[in-house]
Amino acid sequence: MNLKLVRKPGGTPGGQEGRFEAVLNALADPVLVVGADSAIEYVNLATEQFFDASQTWLCERALSDLIPTDSPLFAMIEQVRASGASLSEYGVTLETPRIGSRLLTIQVAPIPDNAGTVVVSFHDRSIASKMTRQMDSRNVARSVTGMAAVLAHEVKNPLSGIRGAAQLLETGVNAEDRKLTRLICDETDRICALVDRMEVFSERPYIERGPVNIHQVLEHVRELAKNGFARHIRFKERYDPSLPAVAGDRDQLIQVFLNLVKNAAEAAPKVGGEVTLTTGYQIGLRLAQPGGRRTHLPLLVTVEDNGEGIPDDLRGNLFDPFVTTKAGGTGLGLPLVAKIVGDHGGIIEFSSEPGHTVFRVYLPVYRGPEDKNG
């Protein structure tokens, strides 16, 4: 493929190249081809809008004319040239006089057989806004953390006093009144259990990150589910057996996938309900963290179901506490999942349509003892 296909005078619109160009121009995301010398060789229509400049003008420029060279984009391009593998980075802020400051997901991919030439694409809304939602859910989890600590201290301690007093009274009253002291004990137990459930949110100083075999985690979760709440569900597994270990806490990861599988099983139809567990490795997915730190998140675990899908009005705050559509639901499952995934430095996102809902969890690889206290 000749990459200098922009405005090529003799370009046949119906030919292969015309087709490629039409396809690229139909994309909503800016796509640029950048040569070894940083010269812009091709831009699609969306790039015109993005930089508010014409294709011809852009193709006479170098990338460094548009974007400051200290931008992380240039480091990414260098890395892709050196490694020959593509790279995505979430949550990169691109700041230029032309476009102002934008939060983007940037993808850079090498073009085989074109030494040093790369394709750069910017994604503005989709993943970036999912990220914001994820960050919001972390903040919410943090406020729940504070609440959990208050509940534990201010509610549980007096409760044990109340319970003790009721037990003392019980010994000296008649059968009729004993019903009432029992009632006090039972209700305080119930409140205690609720507070205990909140306590999982309380802040832990750090999580112990060992190497965790995610397939063992998923098989354990499936076993628990099969013998409990998901008897009616047909499970499918699509595991990548070569997957390296996750850097994480086994018990907490079990909690994550147990919650996701439980939601999936509850959403799936009573007859013909299916839950699919998938694992895979993808090179080049990184999360830009505040302070310029980057986490590589190449491990992807998905939980899919064939249920009705997530109601539209829930999508914006699915990870908030107490959001539930279930009679007897707590709405604490997904906030807990978001907190644990966040504590691991990972990302969770979802997509949902009637008949197909997917939760995707991106996690870091275990690289050695230096990973331990994340």
Ligand X SMILES: Nc1ncnc2c1ncn2[C@@H]1O[C@H](COP(=O)(O)OP(=O)(O)O)[C@@H](O)[C@H]1O
Binding interface with ligand X (CB under 6 A): 259, 263-264, 267, 305, 307, 309-310, 314, 318, 323-326, 329-331, 333-334, 357
Q: Where are the alpha helices (DSSP H) in the chain?
A: 16-26, 45-51, 55-59, 63-66, 72-83, 126-150, 157-171, 175-199, 214-226, 250-267, 333-343
Phi, psi of 360 (to 5 degrees): -115, 130
Nearer residue to ligand X within complex by CB, 19 or 356: 356
| Closest to ligand X by CB, 185 or 358 | 358
Q: How far is the CB of 261 from Mg ion (least distance, A)?
A: 10
Q: How far is the CB of 228 from Mg ion (least distance, A)?
A: 14
Q: Which of residues 121-150 bind Mg ion (CB under 5 A)?
A: none
- Residue 263 engages Mg ion in binding (rule: CB under 5 A): yes
Query: Residue 300: CB partners within 8 Å, gap ≥ 6?
Result: 278, 279, 280, 281, 282, 285, 360, 361, 362, 363
In the bound state with Mg ion, the residue whose beta carbon lies nearer, of 47 and 263, is 263
Contact call for residue 255 and Mg ion (CB under 5 A): no
Complex with ligand X: residue 335 or 364, whichever CB lies closer = 335
Residue with CB nearest ligand X?
333
Per residue, the 3-state secondary structure of 291-346, as one string, reads: HHCEEECCEEEEEEECCCCCCHHHHHHCCCCCCCCCCCCCCCHHHHHHHHHHHCCC
Look at phi and psi of residue 182 and say left if phi exceeds 0, alpha if psi is from -120 to 50, else beta: alpha
Show the tokens assigned to 218.
């998923």
Q: How far is the CB of 37 from ligand X (least distance, A)?
A: 49
Nearer of residues 211 and 309 to ligand X, judged by Cβ:
309
Instruction: Choose among Mg ion, ligand X, none what residue 39 binds, the Cβ cut-off being 5 to 8 Å by kind.
Output: none
Closer residue to Mg ion (CB): 252 or 295: 252
Q: How far is the CB of 238 from ligand X (least distance, A)?
A: 18
Token pair of 341 as six digits: 């995934």
Choose the binding region for Mg ion from 149-157, 180-188, 330-338, 358-366 (rule: CB under 5 A): 330-338
Q: What residues are paired with 285 via a beta bridge?
A: 88
Q: What is the DSSP letter of 284?
A: T
Residue 333 near Mg ion by CB under 5 A: yes
Is residue 357 near Mg ion by the rule CB under 5 A? no
φ, ψ dihedrals at 68, nearest 5° = -55, 140
Smallest distance from ligand X to CB 260, Å: 7
CA–CA gap between residue 354 and residue 266 (Å, rounded): 14
Nearer to Mg ion, 243 or 332 (CB): 332
- Selection from Mg ion, ligand X, none that 47 binds (CB < 5 to 8 A by kind) is none
Q: What is the C-alpha separation between 198 and 279, in angstroms, rounded?
A: 30
In the complex, the residues that contact Mg ion under the rule CB under 5 A are 263, 333
